[in-house]
Structure 1
Amino acid sequence: MAARPAPHVDPDAAIPDLVRRLTDDSKRLVRDEVRLAKLETADSLRRSARGALWLGLAFGAGVVALTALTVMLVSLVGRLAGRHYWVGALVVGVLELVVALLLVKRGLRTLSAPSYTFEESREELRGTVSWAKSVQAH
């Protein structure tokens, strides 16, 4: 947004005129805050969609790679166990379950951490609105 030049203040202006100007400026400030919040939200949604697409592609490639790795490990452990491939499948399955549980635990811990960005923006917007209302009341 371009900076607006400072308005000329007439030293002979009456108090009601100054209050009206202050009210108009407050309304403009609130509109600008709302517009900024909308822009930030739209940008955040665009970034999130793009990130979700890349995560989806990475997940697909990861599933294919982990499947191939699992087959290889099952074959290797089964061969070491005297060609008892069920032992290989059991050992690799248990290892993968342990890794999965650790990852779920870490993910849940990360999700439980509070996010401050949106809460702070909303609180700031509430403060601006209440300030503008108090200025209008006077």
Structure 2
Amino acid sequence: MFWTLIAFGAVLMVLGLAVRLWPIPAERLAARPGPEGPGWHAMEGGVKLVLPNAPEDAEARLKKVALDDLRTVSPAPGTYVTRSAIWQFPDVTRVWRDGAGALHIHAHLVIGKGDLGVNRKRLERWIAEAGLDAGKS
């Protein structure tokens, strides 16, 4: 029994290290997917929020809030990678403005199929902390 627990623990450690070292595809760090309409949009593995009337400093406010999160890093401007607390699963959040000036925020997982609403909850928190109005649709 003791050796079974040791083996199980070793497997969990290897899996945790593999997830931590899993490369994030470059296209995930640069993607700007639709939809384009205002409000919240459920997407496979995440969520997208479009704010048509966001203030000029919205990106700067979101950047500050994102980087205040100890599990979030920014590998490129407008791109944030947040890792889950225990297993270190990476989630990518992209922030950009379109030609009409609307602010787009897309948060999605990298590993797996469903995020269990984690990305939306994090975006709702970031939006609130940044003092932005996202509505609740």
Tell whether the structures are fold-level matches, with TM greater than 0.5: no
Higher relative contact order (CA 8 A, sep 6+): 1
Q: TM-score, with normalisation over the residues of structure 2?
A: 0.26
From the two aligned structures, give the one with the greater helix fraction: 1
Q: Give 1 or 2 for the bigger CA radius of gyration.
A: 1
From the two aligned structures, give the one with the greater strand fraction: 2
